[in-house]
Amino acid sequence: MKPANKAVGMPAVHQIIVGASRRDAITNMALAMRDALRTSYKSEVYSFHPPDESVKDEVIPIQKMNSGNANDVLVYHSSFGIPRLTSMLQTRSEKLALVYHNITPSSYYLGNDPEFAASLQWGRHELSLLQPLVSAAFADSKFNAEDLAQYGYTDIVQLAAGVNPFRLKYEPTDSRLIGELHSHFPDGYILAVSQVIPHKRMELAIEAVHLLRTVHRLDVGLVIAGPERNARYARDLAKLRSRLPEAHVLMMGETTESQLATLYRACAAYFGTSGHEGLAIPPLEAMAAGVPVVIRGTGAVPETVGDAALVARPEANICELTEMLHAVLTNSNLRATLVMRGREHVRNFYAQDTTQVFLDKINELAT
């Protein structure tokens, strides 16, 4: 862990996240913001749940967090709710800032994970409870800002601070994985990157690749990169794969950063199937790797990818999605256009100095 500046009298600006993993977008954003904050403040990232091995030297368990004072700032990253954490936030002495990453509708989980559904419901209740205490509110997309405003928040600063689409640029290519991919998919594969959970709608990717192989006669496979976080949903996907053997799916599970970079670099196209997105980072990482993107236009997706992806209507059926994938895989001019637009889009996205906007707002609170 990089040491924080311990200057006497220097105010602290610490961040709290619910869980921590190097494969988690919120964790990566918080760590990038911490590095920027350390130029002027004592700053750490604390996690309510124990950090996993990938960030155990970067993120501190919240049990080790000391008390603060009224000159300090606490930045809370909201994505779902835990009553014990809510109570802690309500009793802290620091000024409170909130970064809203969106909360998935609980309806996706009521039938298969009622405990997580309750956490999502509490997260939205928590927004109302914390609103009177929050001195500054941030949202990482227009979609999220509009959602947050429904809970009484005003003067919401819209920015995606800490997002770096090029974060995998210098990761080495995994030559062993390349060999395995060529063995599995000699004619190429479509990539989906996400936790394997209900609202990510991975069944659509499986069904689409099945249709590409059986109807369009394209010898293409599917790689799903991301951990399985919902046992019932994982079983449902396994049953679907057994019914659609032509889907030709490789479930990668948890990946290293090098493996993920390799998967992006070697894929024929990226396919985003999520039914709800507050900010879509994997398609930006795919664009940075020079990969054409096909994605459902749900939530914040349209504003995130702009015209640099082939964006489907949120209500598009599986046949429409498959046709879009088929076009990207077979039309070289379309592929070249999407790759060119994607590279330009992520350069412009990253060039926006959102971190400085975040720091300026924090400076106002800490003075």
**pLDDT tens per residue, range 48-69:** 999 998 899 999 999 999 999 9
Residue 7 resides in a domain:
no
Is the CB of residue 140 less than 8 Å from the CB of residue 163?
Answer: yes
Distance (Å, rounded) from C-alpha 24 to C-alpha 184?
27
User: Is residue 207 domain-shared with residue 88, that is, in the same domain?
Assistant: no
Residue 169 resides in a domain:
no
Residue 112 resides in a domain:
yes
Predicted local distance difference test score (pLDDT) of residue 161: 84
Residues with Cβ within 8 Å of residue 265, at least 6 apart in sequence: 173, 289, 290, 291
Percent of the chain exceeding pLDDT 70 equals: 98
Predicted local distance difference test score (pLDDT) of residue 258: 97
User: Is residue 339 domain-shared with residue 207, that is, in the same domain?
Assistant: yes
The 8-class DSSP code of residue 244 comes to -
Predicted local distance difference test score (pLDDT) of residue 124: 98
User: Is residue 110 domain-shared with residue 184, that is, in the same domain?
Assistant: no
Question: What mean pLDDT comes out for the span 103-131?
Answer: 96
Residue 357 resides in a domain:
no
**Does the pLDDT of residue 110 top 70, yes or no?**
yes
Domain of residue 88, CATH code:
3.40.50.11720
Is the CB of residue 284 less than 8 Å from the CB of residue 305?
Answer: yes
Domain of residue 300, CATH code:
3.40.50.2000
Question: What mean pLDDT comes out for the span 167-191?
Answer: 96
Query: How many Cα neighbours within 13 Å face the side chain of 235?
Result: 3
Structure tokens, 106: 């609980």
Question: What mean pLDDT comes out for the span 4-28?
Answer: 82
Mean pLDDT of the chain: 94
Is the CB of residue 158 less than 8 Å from the CB of residue 355?
Answer: no
User: Is residue 84 domain-shared with residue 156, that is, in the same domain?
Assistant: yes
Predicted local distance difference test score (pLDDT) of residue 65: 96
Using one digit for the tens of pLDDT, what is the confidence trace for 225-269? Answer: 999 989 999 999 999 999 888 779 999 999 999 999 999 999 999
162, 186, 212 - which closes a domain: 162
Is the CB of residue 34 less than 8 Å from the CB of residue 43?
Answer: yes
Predicted local distance difference test score (pLDDT) of residue 9: 66
Owner of token pair 């930045």: 75
Predicted local distance difference test score (pLDDT) of residue 3: 45
Determine the structural domain holding residue 56 and report its residue range: 13-162
**Does the pLDDT of residue 7 top 80, yes or no?**
no
Distance (Å, rounded) from C-alpha 304 to C-alpha 32?
19
User: Is residue 155 domain-shared with residue 180, that is, in the same domain?
Assistant: no
Residue 264 resides in a domain:
yes
Predicted local distance difference test score (pLDDT) of residue 247: 72
User: Is residue 92 domain-shared with residue 197, that is, in the same domain?
Assistant: no
User: Is residue 262 domain-shared with residue 116, that is, in the same domain?
Assistant: no
Question: What mean pLDDT comes out for the span 325-335?
Answer: 98
Domain count, the chain: 2
User: Is residue 197 domain-shared with residue 149, that is, in the same domain?
Assistant: no
* 38 pLDDT tier (thresholds 50, 70, 90): very high
Q: What is the dihedral of CA 150, 156, 159, 162, to 10 degrees?
A: -100
User: Is residue 268 domain-shared with residue 124, that is, in the same domain?
Assistant: no
**Does the pLDDT of residue 331 top 60, yes or no?**
yes
Chain-centroid distance of CA 225 in Å reads 13
The 8-class DSSP code of residue 303 comes to H
Question: What mean pLDDT comes out for the span 272-295?
Answer: 97
pLDDT higher at 88 or 353? 88
Question: What mean pLDDT comes out for the span 283-287?
Answer: 98
User: Is residue 156 domain-shared with residue 110, that is, in the same domain?
Assistant: yes
- What SS3 class is residue 129? helix
Order across the sheet with 249-253: list the strands.
Answer: 249-253, 221-225, 189-193, 269-272, 293-296, 310-312
Residue 6 resides in a domain:
no
Q: What is the pTM of this model?
A: 0.92
134, 162, 190 - which closes a domain: 162
Residue 2 resides in a domain:
no
**Does the pLDDT of residue 278 top 50, yes or no?**
yes
107, 140, 162 - which closes a domain: 162
User: Is residue 154 domain-shared with residue 179, that is, in the same domain?
Assistant: no
Structure tokens, 84: 């014990």
Residue 295 resides in a domain:
yes
Cα–Cα separations (whole angstroms), residue 196 to 76, 113, 193: 25, 13, 9
User: Is residue 211 domain-shared with residue 342, that is, in the same domain?
Assistant: yes
Predicted local distance difference test score (pLDDT) of residue 6: 47
